[in-house]
Amino acid sequence: MDAQVWLNGRLCREAEAVVPATLPGVVHGLGVFETLRSEGGRVFRLREHYERLVAGGARMGLAVPGYEGFREALGAVERTVEGGSVRLRFSVIGVGEGKAAWLAVAVPMSEAGEARLVVTGVRRAAGSLLAGVKASSYAENVLLQREAAKAGGTDAVVLGPDGTVAEAAMSNLFVVHEGVVTTPVLGSGCLPGIMRAVVVETCGLEGIECREGAVTVGDLRRAEEVFLTSAVRRVQRVEAVDGEVLPLAGDGGVTARLARAVEARAAAEAVRL
């Protein structure tokens, strides 16, 4: 059976979901998107994802559907995938004069396992117009992940304008040293991740000290634990950095405690599509 997608208000076969090749969203990558995780038709922090989509659309001058339209689109496409966890993506594609095409896609999700990070020399541009926007022009992130794979990793570490750590190519990043959790500040150029905010909140609820501050490459390599966060992977333990296994890789530690707490919150607080 052909995959079903949602385009501009209706479900259709994947092969029928077409937009003109000359649209700004196609030619120039003018667009924004959100990636979400659904389990049993329920999504954690749905409203926050929508608000970030609206903010990104406003930065690019693109029309975004209302919240209920966003929710209904995700629900319609989510129900075309049978069982298990589902990866959802909602895209706003620029068509010109502030208008946009809206596309929702759902695919089955597999478990990510542990991550292996590769440090790159790539820096986020200072004062970028797209800072904090989950933009469709995602080629740099994809290429960074490919380079990490060539070096035996699963994700690449990206630096901020000042050379400190900003994030991983596909996720936000946290380090743990002597039980204290630290994540790069938003001014580093990292995406204001929904799950990043959840983890910072959860640290407070669990009585774990958490700081937002500068993280150097040295801090990353000396950390006892490192973990990544995203809406899809939630909390993902990092096994090694540049091939060096971390001291508490595979241990329970702070990462495991936070992962359990976040999963419990997701189960209790998720809303139905």
Residue 95 sits in a domain of what CATH number? 3.30.470.10
Residue 224 lies in a domain: yes
Residue 273 lies in a domain: no
Residue 11 lies in a domain: yes
Last residue of one domain, picked from the residues 108, 131, 150: 108
Residues 149 and 239 in one domain: yes
Q: Which domain holds residue 39?
A: 4-108
Q: Among 223, 155, 212, 226, which Cα is nearest to 184's?
A: 212
Residues 94 and 206 in one domain: no
pTM: 0.95
Residues 121 and 102 in one domain: no
Report the range of poorest mean pLDDT among 14-18, 58-62, 163-167.
14-18
Residues 225 and 246 in one domain: yes
Tell me what pLDDT residue 130 has: 84
Give the number of domains in the chain.
2
Say yes or no to pLDDT of 263 above 70: yes
Report the range of poorest mean pLDDT among 87-91, 119-123, 167-171.
119-123
Report the range of poorest mean pLDDT among 88-92, 121-125, 188-192.
121-125
Residue 1 — pLDDT band, cuts 50, 70, 90?
low
Written as one string, the DSSP assignment of 73-112 is HHHHHHTTS-SSEEEEEEEEEEEETTEEEEEEEEEE----
Q: CATH number for the domain including 181?
A: 3.20.10.10
pLDDT digits (tens, 9 = 90+) for 170-210: 999 999 999 999 999 999 999 999 999 999 999 999 999 99
Residues 96 and 161 in one domain: no
**Could you tell me the two tokens for 139?**
């080629």
Total H helices, total E strands in the chain = 7, 16
